[in-house]
């Protein structure tokens, strides 16, 4: 499923999604360990960072 999603989006779109996830996670002024882990694992899964 991940491969299909990644294949349907270009690298810029994936980076935008990741940036949006970070903005949402940081909305309260702090990113929790769980939020950071989710963002990091998502980035690794899609090969973005």
Query: What is the domain partition of the chain in residue ranges?
Result: 2-46
Count CB atoms within 10 A of the CB of residue 43: 17
CB-count exposure of residue 41 (10 Å: 0-12, 13-18, 19+):
exposed
**Mean of pLDDT over the chain:** 85
pLDDT of residue 2: 58
Per DSSP, the three-state class of 37 is helix
Digit-coded pLDDT (tens) for 23-43: 999 999 999 999 999 999 988
pLDDT of 9 > 80? The answer is no
For residues 48 and 13, the model is more confident at 13
pLDDT of residue 5: 60
Count CB atoms within 10 A of the CB of residue 5: 12
pLDDT of residue 11: 83
């Amino acid at each position: 499923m991940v491969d299909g999603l990644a294949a349907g989006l270009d690298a810029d779109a994936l980076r935008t999604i990741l940036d949006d996830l970070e903005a949402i996670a940081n909305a309260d002024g702090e990113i929790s360990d769980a939020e950071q882990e989710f963002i990091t694992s998502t980035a690794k899964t899609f090969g973005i960072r």
